[in-house]
Structure 1
Amino acid sequence: MSRRFRAAPGGRGPTDPWFRLGSLDVNTTMLVVLLSVAAFVVFAVEPVTKPIMWSLVLDPEAVLRGQLWRVVTWPVAYPSISFWSVLTLFFFWYFGNDLEVNDLGRSRMLRFLIGVTLVLGLLNVALAALLPITGLLFGLDEVQIIVLLAWIAEHPHRRFMFNVPAWMFGVVIVGIQVLSLLGYRMWFELLNLLLGIVLCSLVARSVGLLTAYSWVPSATRRTSRRQGRGRQSGRATSSGPTVVVGPWGPPPSKHQARMDALLDKIHESGTESLSDAERRELLELRDRLRGN
């Protein structure tokens, strides 16, 4: 029994878990799920007179009074539990784990979730400070929606029930949310949702997602343009001889060539054509070529 629940360190690869609890691989997504389950237990046993969970909820007024930890702790704060809380946790695990294993790896998934948490939390506080209305944030509902939309953006043509493509499912989900908030005249929540999706798309792009959408701003792209302008101005002011760069430059490295081959395979047959080993190899090659 003790061996079954013994903790062990995970591997160093991008798709390896952080650690293992017996046979359970604990990657970033599973770690958030376990923290949420622990929050369920705390909610069930905490004293009614001094509830712990309420001290973790993002209350903009409390944050403005100096309780800054609430900007980070609100996704695992559960002042109440319902069937929807469990269902949200399941969907977060299902889509988050797939996004982590096949697209991001554990480190980028961690950065993505931290970025989404901070963006949504700070946005809530900023809107509460600027508008005469306010709202609380707690639980994984908002984070789960962002994770789901990020997964759909990466796999828009994957099929759901009744052969519905993922992009259509995403449109329906966002549409229902918007119509519901409009119907109840919940303007604060509506503004929070729409601005949150826009800002979190920048977070997703910063960790390597949404690369197929050129209209989403990228810090890497802006840096490369700035460097390009610097090189052009340098050539304009140079008085030395002109050097013509021909096709005799160094050939691509074996890592780049292998990554190009895997990307060609995805382009021809889709992500599903890669084996688990090839997906792990693709993530490792991407990390190596980016210098991470």
Structure 2
Amino acid sequence: MKFIDKWERKYGRFGIPNLTVYIIVCYVIGYALTIINPSLLNWLSLEPAYILRGQIWRLVTWVLYPPSTAGVLWFAIAVLFFYYPIGTSLERTIGTFKYTLYIFSGILFTIIGAFILYFLLGGNVLVGSVFSTYYISLSTFLAYAMCYPDMSVLLMFIIPVKMKWMAVFYVVIVAYEMIQYIMAGAWYLVIPIVASLLNFIIFYFGSKDFSRYNPKEVHRRNEFRRAMEPRGRTGSGGGALTKHKCAICGRTELDDPNLEFRFCSRCNGNYEYCQDHLFTHTHVK
């Protein structure tokens, strides 16, 4: 989206670095509340009926609801070994400002969806219980899968599955749920799903915005850039020769002296990658 690029140039300083960490902290607080005193969450939910009566804190506090209230072990695995690496990697890939905008637009669309549902049902029904952060977290996963479709993860720590197939699986499940709700006459339950995933629909299907971050596309652009550069590689520090350069993001040791670089033995050719892309890039055959 060109207008988002313009926003980034103008308002990029408002991006929140390490936003994933703050989101996880919210989830941990919410999960702790479900253990200590679940009734407290009733005062934090996204409930338009109460918000219109002056309880405006609910516009913010509902993000404390964790995506899942499964056991402590599964919650820790989901947060630390799945959501955290995906969120931080997506932020590095698309940039802090775009990632911040992506997350906050998902939150905003969910709030708008809650009010739409509230008024569609006559304005006298409590709807807060059907709105949570689950589908916002799912939208983050889908965005990551579009950026790294061929990256493999270990399902149940055993079975290697590519991200694109996991994304397809979740999309099928969500579509099935929506069809079931409609057939059962509970069409209103579709609104929370669509509202929470609207940021992904707009960012990706509306403009293919994430396609530019696909490792194959990034590698193609870097190959073209290297072909057009004069002999000797230059870093962002201005003209000085560099020893290392990532074939995906183009960063050198001048960008960050703490970066580590390695050559990939599975790629055909001498392709060097930084520590963030060594295990996530698509191998060149």
Q: What residue identity is the alignment partner of 1:159?
A: S
Aligned length in residues = 209
Q: Deviations over 1:124-147 (max 9, x none)?
A: 221331245745355531221111
Cross-structure match for 1:174:
171
TM-aligned CA distance change 1:263 to 1:97, over 3 Å = closer
The 2-side partners of 1:171 and 1:111 are apart by: 24
Distance 1:135 1:99, change over 3 A: same
The change in CA–CA distance for 1:109 and 1:80 in structure 2 (over 3 A counts) is: closer
TM-superposed deviation, 1:153:
1.4
Match of 2:23 in 1: 32
Amino acid at match of 1:94: P
Aligned-partner SS, 2:129: coil
Provide the C-alpha distance between the structure 2 equivalents of 1:196 and 1:63, rounded to a whole number of angstroms.
19
In the superposition, relative to structure 1, how do residues 64 and 200 fare at CA in structure 2: closer, same or farther (>3 Å)? farther
**CA root-mean-square deviation:** 4.4
What pairs up with 1:203-242 in 2 under 5 angstroms? 209-212=209-212
Structure 1 length-normalised TM: 0.55
Listed as ranges, the gaps of 5+ residues in structure 1 are 1-13, 19-26, 214-250, 280-292
Match of 1:154 among 147, 151, 170: 147
Equivalent residue number for residue 21 of structure 1: none
Instruction: Provide runs of 4+ in structure 1 moved above 6 Å.
Output: none
Identity of aligned residues (%): 19
Alignment correspondent of 1:116: 106
Q: 2:63 aligns with which of 72, 75, 86?
A: 75
Q: Which amino acid aligns with 1:97?
A: T
Residue matched to 1:140:
133
Q: Match for 2:134: what amino acid? A: D
Give CA-to-partner distance per residue, 1:146-169, whole Å, 9 cap, x none.
Answer: 111111111122223455432221
Deviations 1:99-126 (A, max 9, x none): 123x144454333322211111212221
Question: Does structure 2 retain, via aligned residues, the 8 Å contact 1:159–1:166?
Answer: yes
Distance change in 2, residues 1:278/1:202 (3 Å): same
Structure ranking higher in helix proportion: 1
Following superposition, the deviation at residue 262 of structure 1 comes to 5.0
Q: Distance in 1 between matches of 2:249 and 2:41?
A: 49
33, 36, 41: which is aligned to 1:53?
Answer: 41
Deviation at 1:61, TM superposition (A): 2.0
